[in-house]
A and B are shown apart, each in its own frame.
Chain A
Amino acid sequence: MVEGARPVTGASPAPDAAGLGRARATGFLVPSMVLILLFLVVPAVWTIYLGLTNYRLTGLAAANPQIVGLDNYTRALGDERFRTSLVLTLQFVLGSAVIGQAGLGFAIAFALRDRSGPLRRVVEAFVLLSWILPSSVVAFLWIALLDRDAGTLNALLGIPGTAWLLDHPMLSIIIFNTWRGTAFSMMLYAAALENVPRSHLETARLAGASTWQQLRDVVFPRIRGHVLTNLLLISLWTFNDFAPFLITAGGPEQRSEILPVYVYKVALSGGELGFGAAISFIMLLINLVIALVYLRMLGRRKEKA
């Protein structure tokens, strides 16, 4: 399925310099493989099985789960709440990852491209700080920022009483996640822009090309690979992001209930483990598609190189 996309791990140095031998080498591999098998492979496979049952956290179906075939899937597809959640997730990924993080990250990297000195360091430090702080802390920082009565944002804008999290929950978590994750795109594009010869930009500028024309004709053709890498990775991460749960918990009235929050509520709060597993499996499939596209692309670029 993914021929030609293997990572090139480089020829190993002189084989087996320490005289490890096959048997001991296998021994060295065992501890890692046991953990990976148990906590990555088993859960992935088990999701498929659980998704075909009516397993519940409590009650009759907890003791004696029945195979119900594809019922969970047909139920999910017919479920208004699931479809809404899917649409919200799409909005979340498009809005906060593709437009927000990638767009803002590129804009910052481009604006900083030939700068050094304090401004660059300060901007980068703040962008990175919002990326590395623990998610439950930044979630509260945003709750405080957006607070209806005493939030800093309303105080600054002079509009006390605006309930951002209640009136615009999706917009709030989209902007939150843009703030949270832009650092990765910024760093990736900063590295990418180093590949664009400065003289080319200078020539274009002297020839009277606008910033937009420079971007389209000089910059973008050289960083196309980075753009794709970036978009796929941040889409994958955003799709699986649980942090909005810490801010809105999916509410109010499920209006910001993206898939990770939906699964949590249905399966672990609501106890419908079988149904939740079916949704999880759909998520895994979406993840797999994104990851395969990404790796396939890496492989193709490697072959060309």
Chain B
Amino acid sequence: MSTATRTPPAPATDPAGEGPTIAVRHLLAQIGRYVFLCAVLGFFALPLLWLTTAPFDDTPTVTASLPQFTLDNFRALLDNPYALSSLRNSVYLAAGTAALVVTFAALAAYALSRVRVPGRDALLYGLLLLSSIVTGTATMVPLFELAFRLNLIDSRLGVILILSGGLLPAAIFILKDFMDSTPTSYEESARVFGASPLQIMRHIVVPLVRPGLATVGVWAVANVWGNFLVPFLLLRSPDKAPAAVIMYTLYTEGGQADLRLLSTFSLLYSLPVALMFVFVSSRYGFRFHGGIKR
């Protein structure tokens, strides 16, 4: 819908390319560009409109409209038995996975960065390849089956472990890059004074690579917070389900959807990632700086 307003073709009246033609063409290009950007803005903002109006409307419908302002809708969250508990479950899954991924990946990345394990590069490469092709979608059958055999069906720990397994290769890869670029002289002197490797890790390496750990942590939280498939497959009882799954059941199950609940719940559930995004982009700028320049 937004591609219909590309830069209009320049008038081909004067193929010799005299000065004025170029100026006109330039002007038209500028206008076209502006129109295009407005259309893009409309396209991306339109679906989000409802999320900002409905939660505060005293009679919410599925149409986005100027609300009759009220905060009463948020009471619906308290009335639903699963709304708030599902958000707690999401926090639990995200925090658990992030903690596991950051800790395990830091240990592994440190070992890989400092000790020459034979076949190290091949190992990292293979793991990265594996984690990019073995997605939850392509392996949902064996994952379900595996969880069943390991007695991890309807277990939040199972979800945490499975998600961690998928995130670890990329996390190790990112952290190893950070570790490789830190100087080793502090570690050497600490060792001279008799610090054990775990002490060196905790008191010297961790503070040095803190930005890397934070990056991996935020990335893991963002991944788990929105993940629908894995908890949808593995968790059976609704009181264990995270917000992603409860959100889905709210609009698919049981007749007329309660729009007060749906709208306020959507907003509350989206808020943490939106805030995280604002924080990251204001602090570091949310763009690629050559990490993917290949």
B125's partner among A7, A18, A205 (CB-CB below 8 A) is A7
- Is the beta-carbon distance between B50 and A104 smaller than 8 angstroms? no
Pair A18/B197 contact, Cβ less than 8 Å: yes
Residue contact B111 to A126, C-beta cutoff 8 Å: no
A273 to B148, CA, bound (A): 13
Question: Which chain A residue shows the least CB distance to B158?
Answer: A39
Q: Which residue in A18, A22, A143 is a CB contact (below 8 Å) of B187?
A: A18
A111 contacts the other chain (CB 8 A): yes
User: Which of B104, B128, B144 neighbours the largest number of chain A CB atoms within 10 Å of its CB?
Assistant: B104
Whether the Cβ atoms of B108 and A39 lie closer than 8 Å is no
What's the tally of chain A residues with a CB closer than 8 Å to chain B?
117
Residues on A with C-beta less than 8 A from B247 are 134, 136-137, 140
B interface footprint on A4-22 (CB within 8 Å = 1, 0 otherwise):
0111011011111111111
B58 within 8 A of A: no
In the bound complex, do residue A150 and residue B62 qualify as a contact, i.e. CB atoms below 8 Å apart? yes
Among A74-82, A90-98, A162-170, A234-242, the stretch that binds chain B is A234-242
Q: State A263–B225 Cα separation when bound (angstroms).
A: 24
Q: What are 22 of the A-B contact pairs (CB < 8 Å)?
A: A9-B177, A13-B184, A25-B117, A32-B105, A32-B172, A35-B164, A38-B165, A40-B130, A43-B146, A44-B133, A107-B6, A137-B269, A140-B262, A191-B293, A208-B17, A225-B294, A243-B228, A260-B138, A273-B145, A283-B137, A284-B134, A287-B132
Residues of B participating in the A interface, judged by any CB pair closer than 8 Å: 1-3, 6-7, 9-10, 17, 22, 26, 29, 33, 36-37, 40-41, 43-51, 61-64, 100, 103-105, 107-108, 110-117, 120-122, 124-125, 127-146, 161-162, 164-166, 168-169, 172-173, 176-177, 180, 182-185, 187-188, 190-191, 197, 200-201, 205, 222, 225-226, 228-229, 233, 243-245, 247-248, 251, 262, 266, 269-270, 273-274, 277, 281, 286-290, 292-294
Additional pairs, 8, CB under 8 Å, beyond known A112-B37, A191-B289: A14-B188, A40-B131, A40-B169, A104-B3, A108-B40, A126-B45, A132-B277, A211-B7
Chain A residues in the interface with B (C-beta under 8 A): 2, 5-7, 9-10, 12-22, 24-26, 28-29, 31-33, 35-36, 38-44, 46-47, 50, 103-104, 107-108, 111-112, 119, 122-130, 132-145, 147, 150-153, 155-156, 175, 179, 182, 187-188, 190-192, 195, 205-208, 210-211, 225-226, 229, 236, 240-243, 246, 260, 263-264, 267-268, 273, 276-277, 280, 283-284, 287-288, 291-292, 295, 298, 301-302
